[in-house]
Copies of this chain bind each other. A is one copy, B any other.
Amino acid sequence: MRTPTMREVAALAGVSIKTVSRFVNGDETVSPAIAERVRAAIDETGYRRNDLARSLRPGQRSTTLALLVGDLTNPFYGSIANGVMGVARAHGHNVVLASSDEDPEAERRGIDDLLGQRVAGLLIVPGAMDYGYLGREVDQGTPVVFLDRPALGLDADTVLLDNHGGARKATEHLIAAGHRRIGVVVAASHHTTGRRLDGYLDAMRAAFGEVDEALVARLEHGTRAEAEQAAAELLALPPDRRPTALFTTTNFLTHGALRAMGPGQGTALVGFDDFPFADLLPTPVTVVSGDADEMGREATRLLLTRIAGQSGPPRRVELGTVLIPRGSGEQKP
């Protein structure tokens, strides 16, 4: 059985297609007798309006927003998706999800697909590729909002965390606890973690002047395993060069570093990004954290105002971070 069309319903009810359309869309100008016939025909055929055909009409835009996000297994991205979907649904929009954690070429193909489907707008957690070509789509009425990091090649609305400030806050917290030699574990390539590194460096320089490069562990990919090894190496330095505290710049890296420390967790640590069970670890973990859910919500709000037609220069929103002291960051050297 195929999906029935309006034409078939109309034939069954013995009326014209347009009358079925009127009934389906709640037009008042359908007499009760005819309306009942149409209702019965719809019921019998299981007719359902085809919104694809509907949105083809002039001036119509799809109501679907597209979200390009990294690995959904990461609770950070899960929260973003959650926030996006909440606001979208509240405004009657659907959300298509695409993954951006692949190579740039696959990502570009994915975006092209979505544009071909005439989504109403794009929410993108940008990767390393150049997004300049999207400028034309923006001009043609498909707004774009970037989340978590600014995009290369396109100056559009962007929602970020205050990565620099948060990292600075984390580092100063460790300094206030009496630490001088504070190691940092950071993924080399990302903009976000770059800003976090800068925040760390600024705090360190403000307190002690020059920063010992040996304290900075730069990872290539930012995986848990890399972090574990890097942290282990930091902690294996001779006592005079060994850090007494660590600042880990993402939740994955925090996980890796904790693993390197083992159950004792003798070294002080502050992590960027909160994570579940942080409060249940042997030494509960102090973190600096932004609200990913709110990031998704705010980005969606921005996108919706653009879809509604608001023009104007790109906006950049920076969401604040909070430091949650739980124990690991308050340990003395």
Contacts and interface: CB of A to CB of B under 8 A. Distances in A.
A114 B46 CA distance: 15
Nearest to A224: B276
Interface string A91-114: 000111111000000000010111
A53 B46 CA distance: 24
A81 interface: yes
A3 B62 CA distance: 13
Given A81-B72, A82-B71, A258-B280, A56 B46 contact: no
Given A94-B96, A113-B94, A46 B277 contact: no
Nearest to A112: B48
Nearest to A282: B282
Interface residues of A, number: 62
Q: What is the total number of copies of this protein in its complex? A: 2
Contacts of A259: 279-280
A51 B117 contact: yes
A115 to B, nearest CB: 6
B115 A48 contact: yes
A46 B140 contact: yes
Contacts of A312: none
A100 to B, nearest CB: 11
A53 B56 contact: yes
27 contacts: A1-B139, A2-B140, A3-B140, A3-B141, A46-B139, A46-B140, A49-B116, A50-B118, A51-B116, A52-B62, A56-B56, A64-B96, A73-B78, A73-B79, A73-B293, A75-B75, A77-B78, A94-B117, A255-B277, A263-B280, A275-B276, A276-B276, A276-B277, A277-B278, A277-B280, A277-B281, A280-B281
Interface of A: 1-4, 46, 48-53, 55-56, 62, 64, 67, 71-75, 77-79, 81-82, 85-86, 89, 94-99, 110, 112-118, 136-137, 139-142, 255, 258-259, 263, 275-282, 293
